[in-house]
Amino acid sequence: MTLTLGDIRFHESSYVDPNGFLFIHNDEIYRGIKPDKEDFYRNLLQDKNFLPLKNNYNLIESQITDHSIPEVDCSLVLKHRRIEPTTFCTEWCPSMLKDAAIATLELNLALLERECMLQDAYPWNILFEGSRPVHVDLTSIVPSSGPGMIWPAYQQYMNFFMYPLRLASMNKGSIARLLLQNYIDGISLTDFNKNLTLAHWFKHPLASLISKASEILENKLQSNKDLKLKIQNQVKNKSLSNENSGLKKNFVERLIKKTEKIALPSSKDNWTHYYQDIEDQTRDKKKRIIDSLLAQVQPGTLLDLGCNIGAFSILAAKRGVQVISMDSSESCIEALYKNTKANGYSITPVVGNILNPPSTGFLGRQFPSMVERFKSDTVLCLGLMHHLHIHGRQSFERIAALMNTLSNHSVIFEYVAPDDDNNHLIDHGRKIEYTLETVSGELSRYFNVRVMDSDRDTRKILLCEKR
């Protein structure tokens, strides 16, 4: 089937790949292969030894199609299985980043057995399917022979995986996620060293000194262009053939062990204990109400805002719903991710603030915001209204508009009265006045609203179904 450029939409993130390009056609994901790389990728996909990589090393499923795009001289088009939702490393908890790092290294090690390797070590090449990291960039696989370093992607691995993981091990996961918004360079050695804690210096004095010395050397090299060019040419012209595959494998194996040894803190905050502080009878009553409503609306996908440790996300997942669980507490998302991983729930947890969903990358479109990526059949907004209104300073008109934007069909919304005990814990510095009628009235702009009891007198559950 011949496709024209008018039939396809180039993916916003696919613009520097020398081997191919990603595009969307009829809401499906395809990859066009450059003419000079066609034989390599066709042979790769038809090689029976390549199949275990998809099954055992979380490589995206790809199939050869009969499509072609003559306008760009593309005669080999692959179709990939689409993975939803799309999440980015700037939204992952540290354990997710660590699992993605190890998955990248293990795939690279398996490729070396087949005289190939990954040319990139880029976390945006990973998508999470629940707790399973899937490597989606097929054309980052290249032959491993030829001139160059043992692994050309090593520095990229350090900047996008190793440095952020080390920061997370010092309880600086939030800083790591902010620095990773530099999607081109990742976390530089200078920025990493700036954020080393005193405790890290005392615990790892030699490693800290080496890191600082490396920074000084790197800066001097940057200022000496002639020396830098000389070293680059030496590396570029140094051939490491497949006879040196043992050296390459040993290098990756050591990197895997080094990554696995990074101890991430099992930190807890006030929110991880939130449901433990609620009486069992009260907690179970709310679970029964929400489970009943989920049975009624029967969503295929669900977004759980302010999910905490995921009690209601798990209810939905047990009903076969594909769940995105969001909370601003890294500790809560860590706990939920580990629970999801242990039990195989269809839950993708993310660290994020729905009131501040950044759109980043080129022209602000390369990495679309959560609002665009996480739109779901049903939205759960439980125990969150007062945080959005009081702390977040959002009017109920804006909150209702947000619920409408995020949902395809329905919202299960919890009203929290002004005299609710938890409201007194939120520092607001202003007079707070609203009523159930005010809130339900704004939601009624977009939804048919049905009000029912929640787990306590100061709260109500509002089932909101789109008009």
One-letter amino acid for residue 273 of the chain: H
Cβ–Cβ < 8 Å for 338, 321: no
What pLDDT sits at residue 274?
Answer: 66
| The pLDDT value given to residue 43 | 94
pTM greater than 0.85 (yes/no): yes
User: Residue 202 has which token pair?
Assistant: 């005392």
Contact (Cβ atoms closer than 8 angstroms) between residue 294 and residue 316: yes
- In one-letter notation, the amino acid at residue 254 is R
Question: Would you report the helix, strand and coil content of the chain in percent, each value rounded to 5?
Answer: 50, 20, 35
Residue 460, token pair as written in the block:
């109500």
Token pair belonging to 121: 């070590």
Q: By the 8 A CB rule, do 370 and 349 touch?
A: no
pLDDT string in tens for the chain (467-residue length)? 899 999 999 998 888 899 999 999 999 999 999 999 999 999 999 998 887 887 788 899 999 999 999 999 999 999 999 999 999 999 999 999 999 999 999 999 999 988 999 999 999 999 999 999 999 999 999 998 766 678 999 999 999 999 999 999 999 999 999 999 999 999 999 999 999 888 878 777 777 777 777 777 777 666 666 655 554 555 455 555 545 678 899 999 999 999 999 999 887 776 666 666 666 666 789 999 999 999 999 999 999 999 999 999 999 999 999 999 999 999 999 999 999 999 999 999 999 999 988 888 888 888 889 999 999 999 999 999 999 998 899 999 999 999 999 999 999 999 999 988 877 666 666 778 899 999 999 999 999 999 999 999 999 999 999 99
| Region of residue 425 (phi > 0: left; psi between -120 and 50: alpha; otherwise: beta) | alpha
- CATH class (in words) of the domain with range 5-80: alpha beta
Q: Which helix (H) or strand (E) element contains residue 221?
A: helix 205-223
Delimiting residues of CATH 3.30.200 domain(s) in the chain: 5-80
Collapse the DSSP code of 273 into the 3-class scheme (helix H, G, I; strand E, B; otherwise coil) and give the result.
Answer: coil
| CATH 3.40.50.150 domain span(s) along the chain | 275-466
DSSP per-residue string spanning 200-219: HHHHSHHHHHHHHHHHHHHH
Q: What is the pLDDT of residue 120?
A: 94
pLDDT at site 235: 47
| Number of residues written out for the chain | 467
What local confidence, expressed as pLDDT, does residue 147 receive?
60
Q: Give residue for tokens 């790892």.
A: 204
What three-state secondary structure class fits 304?
strand
Q: Looking up tokens 């809401």, which residue turns up? A: 27
Residue 20: Cβ-neighbour burial (10 angstroms; 0-12, 13-18, 19+):
buried
DSSP-assigned states of every residue in 316-351: HHHTT-EEEEEES-HHHHHHHHHHHHHHT-SEEEEE
Is residue 137 within 8 A of residue 174, CB to CB? The reply is: no
Taking the C-alpha atoms of residue 119 and residue 111, their distance in angstroms, rounded to an integer, is 11
Report the pLDDT value the prediction gives residue 365, as an integer from 0 to 100: 81
- Classify 275-466 by CATH class: alpha beta
Taking the C-alpha atoms of residue 33 and residue 292, their distance in angstroms, rounded to an integer, is 49
Residue type, 117: M
